């Protein structure tokens, strides 16, 4: 339970902002453990939520959470830990889910996911 609460708080604290300018979009990103308990050799579901709260579309959105679930400790059953989306429109949200299986018991630290994106298709500056 502590792990689930900690993971949710880390996700909320690690919200991704581009800039505070009113004319630019920014993403809110959450990471949530769906399971009540995390058990060795049992499925573990992680849900990511991305919300574009700005007035414009963001492009080339990349979520990377490979560092949180190393292959020596977790088996990836469903989904990918490094998804990419071409665009997220203004005011839109999306959900991405992965299912993993912990290979061993004990403490495992899961940190925030890294999310990058571009403010326009032509702008190569990554946020």
Structure confidence by residue, pLDDT tens digits, 73-127: 999 999 999 999 999 999 999 999 999 999 988 877 778 999 999 886 666 666 6
Whole-model pTM?
A: 0.77
Please report which confidence band the pLDDT of residue 11 belongs to, taking 50, 70 and 90 as the band edges: low
Pairing type for strands 93-102 and 74-78 reads: antiparallel
Q: Select the CATH number that applies to the domain covering 2-118 from these four: 3.30.1300.10, 3.40.50.1370, 3.80.30.20, 2.60.40.10.
A: 2.60.40.10
Are the C-beta atoms of 70 and 109 separated by less than 8 Å? no
Task: Please say if the pLDDT value at position 19 is more than 70.
Answer: no
Q: 125 Cβ partners below 8 Å, 6+ apart? A: 118, 119
Q: What is the pLDDT of residue 18?
A: 39
Find the mean pLDDT for residues 63-69: 94
Residue 72, number of CB atoms within 10 A of its CB: 7
């Amino acid at each position: 339970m502590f792990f689930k609460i900690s993971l949710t708080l880390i996700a909320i604290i690690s919200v991704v902002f581009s800039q505070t300018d009113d004319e630019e979009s920014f993403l809110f990103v959450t990471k949530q453990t769906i399971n009540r308990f995390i058990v060795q050799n049992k499925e573990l579901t992680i849900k990511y939520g991305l919300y574009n709260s700005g007035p414009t579309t963001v492009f080339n959105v990349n979520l990377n959470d490979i560092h949180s679930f190393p292959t020596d400790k977790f088996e990836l059953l469903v989904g990918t830990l490094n998804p990419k989306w071409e665009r997220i429109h203004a005011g839109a949200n999306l959900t991405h889910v992965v299912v993993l299986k912990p290979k061993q018991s004990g403490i495992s630290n899961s940190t925030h996911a890294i999310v990058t994106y571009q403010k326009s298709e032509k702008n190569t500056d990554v946020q």
